[in-house]
Structures are given as C-alpha cells and as structure tokens.
Amino acid sequence: MTPQEASIAAERICRLAPVIPVLVVDQVAHAAPLAQALVAGGLPALEVTLRTDAALEVIAEMAGVEGGAVGAGTLLSSQDVENAKKAGATFGVSPGATDRLLDACEANDLPLLPGAASATEAMRLLERGYTVQKFFPAEAAGGATFLKSLSSPLPRIRFCPTGGVSLKNATDYLSLPNTLCVGGSWVAPGELVKSGDWAGITRLATQAAQLGR
C-alpha cells in the first residue's frame, strides 16, 4: 500500500462520522456490546488503543460487529502493526510517525493515521505522501487555533485532531476546513463501560454523531 492509497482509505474512514471513539478496553467481554452500542449511535469507526493486555482480543471481537470499522491505536512498532493486522484491524493510528512504523504499515496494507504535532512533522509526512494525518496531542499542541493556522500554508493536509478533544470543544475543530473528524474518549467513559451501560453509551454516540452537521 502506498502512502497515497493509505490516505485515501484513511479519509474514507474519517468521513464515516464526525467522531472516532478512542477506546481503552480492559475486558474482552465488553468488546462486542461496546462496539454495537457505538455503531448503533452512529459512530462506526472505532479506535482501540493498544494500551491494555486485552487490546488485540478486543479488536478481534469488535471486528465481527456488523457495520463497524475497527482500527488499532497507539501503534508504536512494526510488531504492533503486524499484531493489529492479524487481529482484524482495518486501519491504524499512531501518536507520531517513524520511518520504520510507516514502512510496516505500508508493507502490511494497513491504512495509517500518522500523528503530527508541528508544521515540520506534518510536512515530512506530506513529503512521503500522507495527506491525511492525526493532529496529536491536539489541545496541548495548540488546539484549534494552531490547527487553523496550518490550513493556509498546508492546504493539502486534512487532520483528525485527538488529545484533549471533548464534547465542549469538538465543534471548534470540526468547523475548520482542514479537519475531517475528531477523536475522543468521552463517548465511551470508563464508568459506563464498566457498568455495562450500553444504552448510555449509545446516547452519547448519537449526540456526537450530530456534531458539525
């Protein structure tokens, strides 16, 4: 997969909904009902972060949920990429980007949202062919004001801001011409996941699905 092909696929995923839920899941038993709740609320693109021992099994379970597109987040190494692809991930997300990580995603045909936090990082990715990128950590790196300032000098790049994005500030990003969608964890808060309040998560997802429209 070329960087250009990866960006086309990543843009397609980003346009599925205004919000990509960023999920940290500890229990495999929560995987399918959580994915079903989010998809039912209108958020089909799901990012499962590789931050728990159960993450790869969670991806495998969610991959079987109808209507969902499950990706692996926090990809840091080529081994992470291979493991995520084997588990059933259809896209990847990384906090930053290294040549080795990009090589692995391209070799494994895994579309990647590579992370960038500065104009230089975004330009290096663009030079390689990545026109769709993750802006991370969004709030700490300057927020919507900073991202807006990149739209004129770097008009070819579209972003998915993640990191500190919430219901309160999501529309600040979604109103920008260089934002495709945002990533956030507020649609699946830990207390609702632990209690199995899937209806509550669907309500939050439904609310998020209407943002920017």
**Given 47, 61, 85, 106, the catalytic residue:** 47
Q: How far apart are CA 132 and CA 157, in angstroms?
A: 6
Mapped onto helix, strand or coil, the DSSP state of residue 157 is coil
Catalytic site residue 61?
A: no
- Asked if residue 16 lies in contact with residue 69, where contact means CB atoms within 8 angstroms, the answer is yes
Q: Which of 9, 58, 4 is nearest to 34 (CA)?
A: 58
Q: Which of 7, 38, 45 is nearest to 133 (CA)?
A: 7
**Given 61, 134, 139, 191, the catalytic residue:** 134
Catalytic site residue 11?
A: no
Assign residue 88 a region (left: φ > 0; alpha: ψ between -120 and 50; beta: otherwise).
left
Q: What amino acid positions are annotated as catalytic residues? A: 47, 134
